[in-house]
Copies of this chain bind each other. A is one copy, B any other.
Amino acid sequence: MKKITNQILKKVIRQRPADSYKGTYGRIALIGGSQNFGGAIIMASLAAVYAGAGLVTTITDPTNQTSLHDWLPEAMFVDNHDFKTAAPIIKGANVIVIGPGLGTDNLALSLLTRTFELVHENQTLIVDGSALTLLAHNHLSLPKPSLNILTPHQMEWQRVSGIKIADQTPTANQKAATALHAIVVIKSHRTEVYVNDTVYQNTGGTPAQATGGMGDTLAGMIGGFTAQFSDKAKATLAAVYTHSAIADKLAKKQYVVLPHQISEALPKFMLKNQAEN
C-alpha cells in the first residue's frame, strides 16, 4: 500500500489561472437529502462550494431549501420531485454526487436509477451513502461515465462488494474495485483508496472526526476537487488527505470536530497548500 501524504496536495491544487471564470471550475449537481436526512446533502454541498467548485446545484427535498440557502446562498436549489427541472442540471454537470442523506425509499431509488440513465461519458459520478445501499440491495449496475468514484464506509462496502468487514483485505478489496471499474474510497480511521492497480492508505485522521456527517463532507469535497482538477484519481487522493489533515489540525484544539468546520476551513488550507509556480 502506498501512503497518501501531503505530497499529493501541491500536485493537485493548482494556482488558479488569472483569465478564468466560474465555468472553469466545474458544475456540480448534488443529489440527496430526504426530509429526515437533509443535513447530509447540505454538508456535502457546503464542502463542494468551499472547495472552490464553480457552480453548485443541490437537488433535494423541498423542506431542505431554506436550510440549504441559510448555509449556502451560493448554491442553486432544485426540488427532487421535479425531475423535469433536475434532468438538464444533471446532464449539464461535470460532476455528480449522489447519495448523502438520499434515503432508501421509492423516491430515492427512482432518483438513483433516473440519474444513472442520464449519466454520460464526460462526467465524474460520485456514489455515496444510501445510494450505495440502494445499489447493492437492488442489484443495480453502475453507469458508464468517464469515472465512477464510490465512497463507502466498511458496512456499505460489504453491501456493495459482498466482502464481509472482517474479510476486507487490500487484495480482496482491490479485486472488487477493479471489477467495478471504479475508484473506491473505503472510509475508516485510516481510509483506503483503490485506484486501478494501486492501493493507497491515508496517513491522517483523528477520532475527533468520529461524528455524523463526516462522510457527507468528504463526498462533497471529492466533488469539489474532481470538478476543478484534471487528474481525477489524484484529485480524489488529495480530497481524502485534505479532509483528515484539516480535522487533525482542528483536533489539536477540539475534542470533537464538526463536519461543517472542515468545509469552512477549506479556503485557507487550499491556498496554503497549492502548487508553487
Which positions in A face B, CB cutoff 8 Å? 13, 16-22, 24-25, 35-40, 42-43, 46, 49-56, 62-67, 69-79, 85, 153, 188-189, 206-208, 210-214, 251, 253-260, 266-271, 274
A22 — which chain B residues lie within 8 A by C-beta? 210-212, 214
A46 — which chain B residues lie within 8 A by C-beta? 73
- The distance in angstroms between the C-alpha atoms of A62 and B66, with both chains bound, is 11
A-B contact pairs, 28 of them (CB 8 A): A16-B208, A16-B210, A18-B207, A21-B188, A21-B210, A22-B211, A22-B212, A24-B210, A25-B211, A35-B79, A39-B69, A39-B74, A39-B76, A43-B74, A49-B258, A51-B256, A52-B255, A54-B210, A56-B212, A62-B63, A63-B66, A65-B67, A66-B67, A66-B70, A255-B267, A255-B270, A256-B267, A257-B267
Are A256 and B268 within 8 A (Cβ)?
A: no
From B16, B21, B77, contact of A35 by CB (8 A) = B77
Complex copy number for this chain: 4
Are A73 and B18 within 8 A (Cβ)?
A: no
Q: How far is the CB of A202 from chain B (nearest CB, A)?
A: 13
- The distance in angstroms between the C-alpha atoms of A76 and B208, with both chains bound, is 19
Are B42 and A69 within 8 A (Cβ)?
A: yes
Are B36 and A85 within 8 A (Cβ)?
A: yes
Contact A271:B259 (CB < 8 A) given known A67-B66, A74-B213, A208-B16: no
**Residue from the set A36, A39, A40, A256 with the largest chain B CB neighbour count within 10 Å:** A256
Q: How far is the CB of A226 from chain B (nearest CB, A)?
A: 15
Are A189 and B73 within 8 A (Cβ)?
A: no
- The distance in angstroms between the C-alpha atoms of A63 and B210, with both chains bound, is 29
Are A25 and B210 within 8 A (Cβ)?
A: yes
Q: How far is the CB of A249 from chain B (nearest CB, A)?
A: 13
